[in-house]
Amino acid sequence: MDLALKAIDHKNYTDFANYLESVSGIALSLGKEYLLEMRLRPLFRQLNIHSMQDMITRAKSDRRVLALMIDALTTNETSWFRDRYPFSHLQKIIFPALIKQGASRINCWSAACSSGQEPYSIAMVFEEMRRNFPCTTSLNILATEISDSMLEEAKKGCYSERAIARGLSEDLKNRYLQPCSNSWQVVPKVRQGIRFQKFNLVHGQELASLGQFDVIFCRNVLIYFTTQVKTRVLTRLASSLKTGGYLMLGSSEYVSLDLPYFITEKLSPGFVFRRTAVPVKR
């Protein structure tokens, strides 16, 4: 039986929205019953679930069901070199500055990496910079995601022509992708510097074990969170950034940033946030 739209009454919807926020940070705004039903319908069929309460009960008792539910409700829109400016800033300013400071290894974290275009774009930027200015510095990238299916896609690094057309130039495609059955795969040289890991930005207890980073990309995910959850996530990210480290957010995510451990540097266009050693008084 399908989940009927009328079955999601206000109480069911609110209970489910509260549960989803508690496990993923994702905030469902009011009036999204239709969207919720569309996204969950295949899962309800697959697992023989008949109500929102049933969904919550099953997700609470079975981690696999929880993972499938989160998978169904995340928005995974991404592209290569999304918005361009963060990547050109990385190539022209951030990487050269870190190398000039004598870093033998640069640690970068792509938090919420979706199907992988973001961490691969970062790795390609580094390769491109090294083509022009050879150096001995190495780049380590940690790419994390809450969605199991996205993480699997990201690890494979295989993309259709259609996905490639979204932002990857012919030049970079020729240099960093190789044919693989019906698709294209990122070459081992680029893949090998990236470690993929499941990680929930809101709950990941093992934050300290991820390490300390010079650069964090946390782009186009905070928009799905409430202000309270955003603040919590940004506080966690601050604790994972080295002093002076760089935080890149999505182009529409800077407005609400008012945290003691970040100063804003204006780029044109966009912004980058720098981790301060001591809290900034505002």
Ligand X SMILES: C[S@@+](CC[C@H](N)C(=O)[O-])C[C@H]1O[C@@H](n2cnc3c(N)ncnc32)[C@H](O)[C@@H]1O
Would you say 107 or 220 has its CB closer to ligand X? 220
Q: How far apart are CA 98 and CA 190, in angstroms?
A: 20
Q: How far apart are the first and last CA of the chain?
A: 55
Nearest of 206, 250, 245 to residue 225 by alpha carbon:
250
Residue 20 binds to ligand X (criterion: CB under 6 A)? no
Cα gap 216→229, rounded to integer Å = 18
Q: DSSP for 129-151?
A: HHHHS--S-EEEEEEEES-HHHH
User: Does residue 230 touch ligand X according to CB under 6 A?
Assistant: no
114 binds ligand X (CB under 6 A): yes
Which C-beta is closer to ligand X: that of 25 or that of 245? 25
Question: How is residue 216 written in tokens?
Answer: 């964090």
- Tell me how far apart the alpha carbons of residues 49 and 274 are, in angstroms, rounded to a whole number: 46
Candidates 12-20, 121-129, 171-179, 198-206 — which segment interacts with ligand X by CB under 6 A? 198-206
CB of 102 to ligand X, least distance (A): 30
* 147-176: contacts with ligand X (CB under 6 A): 147, 150
85: alpha, beta or left? (left if phi > 0; alpha if psi -120 to 50): alpha
**Residue 132 CB, nearest approach to ligand X (Å):** 26
26 lines the binding site for ligand X (CB under 6 A): yes
- What number of chain residues touch ligand X (CB under 6 A)? 24
Q: Which is nearer to ligand X, 18 or 243 (CB)?
A: 18
The binder of ligand X chosen from 21, 33, 118, 153 (CB under 6 A): 118
HEC sequence for 246-278: EEEECCCCCCCCCCCCEEEEECCCCEEEEECCC
Among 140, 185, 200, 276, binds ligand X (CB under 6 A): 200
Query: Which DSSP letter does residue 225 get?
Result: B
Pairing of strands 183-186, 213-218: unpaired
- Regarding 121 and contact with ligand X (CB under 6 A), the answer is no
Binding residues among 62-101 for ligand X as defined by CB under 6 A: 74-78, 82
Contacts with ligand X in 209-228 (CB under 6 A)? 219-221, 224
- List the one residue from 17, 69, 108, 146 that touches ligand X (CB under 6 A): 146
Residue 110 CA, distance from chain mean position: 6
* Contacting positions for ligand X (CB under 6 A): 24-26, 74-78, 82, 112, 114, 118, 145-147, 150, 200-202, 219-221, 224, 250
